Amino acid sequence: MASTLSAAATERNVCIAGAVFFLAYSVLKRTNVVLFEEHPLSFSQDLSLVFGYSAEQVVRAANSISATATPLVIVAAIANVLAILTYAFLGSAMVSWACDSLGKAGQGVKFANQLPFINGAMHLAEAALVTVGLLTVSDELSALASTVSGARSAIAIATLVLGALATGQFLWVWCKSIGRDGRQKIEKQE
């Protein structure tokens, strides 16, 4: 699977995934403003490193949503699925590019390539639980979503650290190779 993910990480696919992510993310931010003024829960990939929430926050948010907002919750859930999947693909592509720039393809690299998708799978499970918990005002689903959120937080932090390291590595190798690819014919002056 890691080699398939590396092969899919072309510039064209990354550009398409980036456009889809930002479109879905903008829909999520706008629905969050309408639905949840205080607690956006898992409908948003908040980059402020605030992870987790309690079951009471989910129930409080569910009680504040009117029945007429149900279609908006479903639109937000669909946009959330798109954002999660594209975010996972972009993270995997970033790790693949960093590994390619190093010229490494070991077992650790193969696992690192899949870590963003593990985070995405846990986020999808959490988002499904939150969505159903919001629509049915279920205490059990809200508590389960809160538990999954806590477990996903550790994987999300590991994914963010991996992404930061991969970006730094890719940029370091890329900056060192500028002008050394043989296409430029500039004479050295001594």
Tens digits of per-residue pLDDT, 62-75?
777 777 778 888 88
Q: Is the pLDDT confidence value at 37 over 70?
A: no
Mean per-residue pLDDT, 142-157:
83
pLDDT at 79: 87
Domain ranges of the chain: 2-170
Question: How far, in Å, CA of 35 to CA of 42, rounded?
Answer: 12
* Cβ-based neighbour number of residue 158 at 10 Å: 15
Q: Is the pLDDT confidence value at 184 over 70?
A: no
pTM, to two decimals: 0.75
Block residue for tokens 């995405």: 120
pLDDT at 47: 44
Residue type, 149: S
What is the percentage of the chain residues whose pLDDT exceeds 70?
A: 76
Which has the higher per-residue pLDDT, 43 or 33? 33
Alpha helices in the chain (DSSP H): 2-8, 11-35, 55-64, 70-102, 107-136, 139-177
User: Sign of the CA dihedral 58, 74, 12, 5?
Assistant: positive
Confidence band for 41, pLDDT divided at 50, 70 and 90: low
- Residue 75 and residue 144 in contact, taking contact as beta carbons nearer than 8 Å: no
Q: What is the mean pLDDT of the chain?
A: 77
DSSP-derived letter for residue 48 is T
Confidence band for 104, pLDDT divided at 50, 70 and 90: low
pLDDT at 86: 92
Q: Is the pLDDT confidence value at 48 over 50?
A: no
Confidence band for 179, pLDDT divided at 50, 70 and 90: low
Assigned token pair, 160: 């963010």
- Residue 93 and residue 17 in contact, taking contact as beta carbons nearer than 8 Å: yes
